[in-house]
Amino acid sequence: MAAKVFQLKCGCKNDPWGKTGKDSLAGVLCSKTPGALEWDDSKTYSEMWMGTYPTVPSRILATDELLSEYLQKHPEVVGQSVLEKWGPEVPFLPKILSFSKALPLQIHPDKALAEKLHQTDPNKYSDPNHKPEIAIALSNFELFAGFKPLSDISTLMRIAPLQRFLPPDHPQTFTDSHLRDLTRTLLSLPASLISTTVNELLSIPESNFGPTQRYIPGLLDRLRKQYPDTDPGSLVAVLLMNYMTLGPGEAVCVPADSVHAYLCGDILECMARSDNVLNTGFCAPAERDDVGLFTEALTFKPHAVDEGVLGRRKSVVGGIGEGRTEVYQPPFGEFGVLGVSLGAGERERHGRLEGLSLVVVVKGKGWMEVTGGEGEGEKWEIGEGAVFFVGAGVDLEFGTEKGLLVYRPYAE
Ligand SMILES: [Zn+2]
């Protein structure tokens, strides 16, 4: 019978925006698995990928076999419902990201647009899938996500250096359609005008930005130290988008076509199995996608800080876990994520899931035991950086002497 629970060996990317050496949680976690990467203190480690996406595919630690090949041979381990919906794959893509400068300002296309883009340019858009995502903070996490409330934007756009970006016949009340036009205008400005505007905004008193948006000059100044002051990302991010700071365990939900730019932190990201992205800022001009395409696709969700935050619910006895598990359930169907945080001497049980899951140990150490289903009685010592594949229909128990933080993305 095919093994259902086994440890994986995952890979880590080295994008220039990643944190360097030991500062990178992604790099450090990835390096804990023997043979996963060649350590170099001076390298940036940006994203550790887990699962079957071909760009950075996971392997089975014991045999070095690709997880994707194993699932092709033993499709039943993913569970019947997953197999019917998505085939013998991990239908989601979890990553640990560590970054100290802004990631590109981006959206991920919805299914219809992704199919179209993939058909016309399969090299650039490597799959026909949508990519809604959630991001769970592992450290303090600063980000821009979704658009500010329309009233905040319209107040802001009436201050002197910004008025010129509104058409002369602009009505008093702003709509999403005006916001789409304004986003297009700001993203299409000549480089010199972006730089002039940034400098003008930095030279006026903070109080001009109103009581709730005084943070704008500080953020602009920070961003121009990361990217040239001619980058259109800065204006769109600080003027139009919600600026948020999340603490460990808090999460944000980014639907398809929703604008976002992550600024700083360490996060666990989980997304539908896709790598499609449209970038328009915080990247070199050559890497920017078409502004028309970008602004046409935009959705206006979320439209305030509160709408972007993904709520969590404590799982109770009889559901998944016995009260030490939190469930992150985004509104899109591909996946959910369980978060298990245990103090010294604590345990937690997870009843069986109908589909596959991955177990990602973010902090601490302890053990994981199969307490029901195939492989009952198997037990592993688990520590920071360990990633396991868990097939459908397996009961698990986690325990620790000193403390343990585990995330478990799953599909059913
Ligand atoms: Zn994204």
Query: Mind listing the pLDDT tens digit for each residue in 34-71?
Result: 999 999 999 999 999 999 999 999 999 999 999 999 99
CA of 106 to the centre of ligand 1 (A): 6
CA of 26 to the centre of ligand 1 (A): 17
- Domain made up of 102-310: CATH architecture: Orthogonal Bundle (1.10)
CA of 146 to the centre of ligand 1 (A): 12
CA of 31 to the centre of ligand 1 (A): 24
CA of 297 to the centre of ligand 1 (A): 15
- Residue 383: other Cβ atoms inside 10 A: 14
Residue 298 to residue 258: CA distance in whole angstroms: 6
Read off the pLDDT of residues 79-101 as tens digits, 9 standing for 90 and up: 999 999 999 999 999 999 999 99
CATH of domain 1-11+58-90+311-412: 2.60.120.10
Residue 226 to residue 302: CA distance in whole angstroms: 26
Per-residue pLDDT band at 192 (split at 50, 70, 90): very high
Is 133 annotated to bind a ligand? Reply is yes
CA atoms within a 13 Å half-sphere pointing along the CA-CB vector of 91? 24
Fold equal for 1-11+58-90+311-412 and 102-310: no
On the question of pLDDT at 293 being above 80, the answer is yes
Instruction: DSSP for 43-98, please give it.
Output: SEE-EEE-SS-TTS--EETTT--BHHHHHHH-GGGG-HHHHHHH-SS--EEEEEEE
What average pLDDT does range 208-237 have in this prediction? Answer: 94
Q: Token match 């369980």: residue?
A: 338
Q: Note the pLDDT of residue 316.
A: 54
Residue 156 to residue 127: CA distance in whole angstroms: 39
Which of 367, 342, 271, 388 is CA-nearest to residue 33?
388
Q: Note the pLDDT of residue 165.
A: 94
**CA dihedral sign, ordered 252, 133, 260, 362:** positive
Residue 178 to residue 170: CA distance in whole angstroms: 9
> When comparing pLDDT for 21 and 305, which is higher?
21
Q: Note the pLDDT of residue 144.
A: 95
CA of 410 to the centre of ligand 1 (A): 19
What average pLDDT does range 177-202 have in this prediction? Answer: 96
Q: Note the pLDDT of residue 168.
A: 79
Structural domain boundaries of the chain? 1-11+58-90+311-412, 102-310
Q: Note the pLDDT of residue 315.
A: 65
Is 178 annotated to bind a ligand? Reply is no
Read off the pLDDT of residues 378-411 as tens digits, 9 standing for 90 and up: 999 999 999 999 999 999 999 999 999 999 999 9
What average pLDDT does range 321-338 have in this prediction? Answer: 87
Is 106 annotated to bind a ligand? Reply is yes
CA of 24 to the centre of ligand 1 (A): 19
CA of 108 to the centre of ligand 1 (A): 6
Is 76 annotated to bind a ligand? Reply is no
CA of 186 to the centre of ligand 1 (A): 21
Read off the pLDDT of residues 256-267 as tens digits, 9 standing for 90 and up: 999 999 999 999
On the question of pLDDT at 234 being above 60, the answer is yes
CA of 259 to the centre of ligand 1 (A): 8
Per the prediction, the chain carries an average pLDDT of 93
* One-letter identity of residue 32: K
H/E stretch holding 359: strand 357-372
Q: Note the pLDDT of residue 251.
A: 94
